[in-house]
Amino acid sequence: MAVVSLRDEATELLQKLIRVDTVNPPGHETRAAELLRDYLTESGVEVELYAKVPERANVVALRRGRGGGPRLALLSHTDTVLADPREWQLDPWSGELRDDEIWGRGALDMKGQVAASAVAIASLAREGFRPNGDLIFLATADEEVGVDFGLQWLVREHPEAVRAEYSLNEGAGDRIVVGGRPLYLCAAAEKMSSPFTLRVHGRSGHASMPGIADNALVKASRLIQRLAEHRPAPRYEPEVEALLGVLTNGDVPPPEEAVARVESLHPLARTFVEPLLAYTLSPTMIEASHKRNVIPALCEVTVDCRLLPGQTQAEVEPLVRDVLGDGTYELDWTEGHGGTRSPLGTPLWDAVASFVRDLEPGAEAAPVVVPGFTDSHWMREAFGTVAYGFFPMRTMDAELAALLIHSADERIHVEDLELGVDFLRHAGRAIGSLST
């Protein structure tokens, strides 16, 4: 192989992946899957492509174990969100290396981790590493939209190919410094994506005579305002209480005081703690009249709702209806995915914590809940997998990285890409040494 270091190897592979446009929709992830298949096969890794439709393939690669040990899945996805080149300084699909940063759509979410995971399993295979249990590389399609071409489909149709006791995925890895201590966040749970539609009814009429109609759009605006102003009662989930314990050196405040307390400790803390204390309601889409001169009799509002792990729609719906009050509307839940968690104190948590401790003096791993949705849910739900989101980043500022994901000028520093490879190799060896 022409490359001389794992850093260069990961950089080159990431550049190639970025240059393959896999914006979803339509995805067309097979082009990235074939690139990964060719790369991994060259290192002696067994590779299979599984596809519900030919153009949307998933990669399942295997470093076969001796037997008698747990399986570890390095999970990632190859699709990306869209990018508007007019908003970018560089071509979003250039993969250009500038000032030790690799630019392009997916560099952070999450082709960087795809490349790091592939290099980790490939390099371990070249070194002759043979784990007790299988080491699996999964690069799936359709995570960003989730129409059932990716991991959701795989766990149902090909469960034996992807089943694993442990899994590492996206979701965290941010580094923050609190009171002089470096903390690396590790996602052990996620909120449930639970959107609903409000259908607000009125009476149509000509827009030139508003007094004869009952404007559903105006009625909906009042409900939207109530949702926007609602502040649910906060409560601690186990992961968030543990995080507060780390942040405050064991002096955990009541949930009602948590936001103010963490904000005084770190400017970024409020951003990632506040949505983890309660369900959230965010009106995001609205549809009413399709003609300028017709007052609408129906207005539909889409509300992005995220529930705490373990919280149910049946539990939250009465609370939402109480916020909305009486009115001529209907509330319909449109889906409910996520809301799963994995225990702390597992061998995989030990692997994360030990890597962090060795990385820099005084550093500590701290658990968080992902406010959004990840493919880890499908592994937990299907197999009871212990799944964490962790891809450590030390060089790029965590606040900057958060702003770049799904936005213009997305990029990753090569130091962080190399750090990710180092961690995934460490985890592969740690879990690979376990026996069942």
Phi-psi region of 46 (alpha: psi -120 to 50; beta: other; left: phi over 0): beta
3-state helix, strand, coil in the chain (%, to 5): 35, 25, 40
CATH architecture of 190-338: 2-Layer Sandwich (3.30)
Q: In sequence order, what are the residues at sequence separation of 6 or more whose Cβ sits closer than 8 angstroms to the Cβ of residue 241?
A: 252
Buried b (16+ CB within 10 A) or exposed e, 36-45: bbebbeebeb
Average pLDDT value over all residues in the chain: 96
d(CA 257, CA 267): 16
Where in the chain are the domains? 6-172+372-432, 190-338
Six token digits for residue 382: 């299907």
Q: What per-residue confidence (pLDDT) applies to 271?
A: 84
Structural tokens at position 101: 């940063």
**What global pTM score does this model have?**
0.93
For residue 272, the model assigns a pLDDT of 83
Joined tokens for residue 289: 């009249």
**Element of type H or E holding 329:** strand 329-333
Provide the total of helices (H) and of strands (E) in the chain, helices listed first: 14, 20
Q: Do domains 6-172+372-432 and 190-338 have the same CATH topology?
A: no
- In degrees and rounded to multiples of 5, residue 304 shows phi and psi of -80, 110
**pLDDT (0 to 100) of residue 304:** 97
Question: How far apart are alpha carbons 134 and 70 in whole angstroms?
Answer: 7
In the chain (436 residues long), the average pLDDT of successive 10-residue segments reads 79 98 98 98 97 98 96 98 98 98 98 98 98 98 96 98 98 93 96 97 97 96 97 96 93 96 86 93 97 98 97 97 95 96 97 97 95 95 98 95 96 98 98 95
CATH number at 6-172+372-432: 3.40.630.10
- Per the structure block, which two tokens stand in for 242? 């543990």
The pLDDT score that the predictor gives to residue 179 is: 86
Q: Residue 234 — φ and ψ, nearest 5°?
A: -75, 155
Q: How many CB atoms lie within 10 A of CB 179?
A: 10
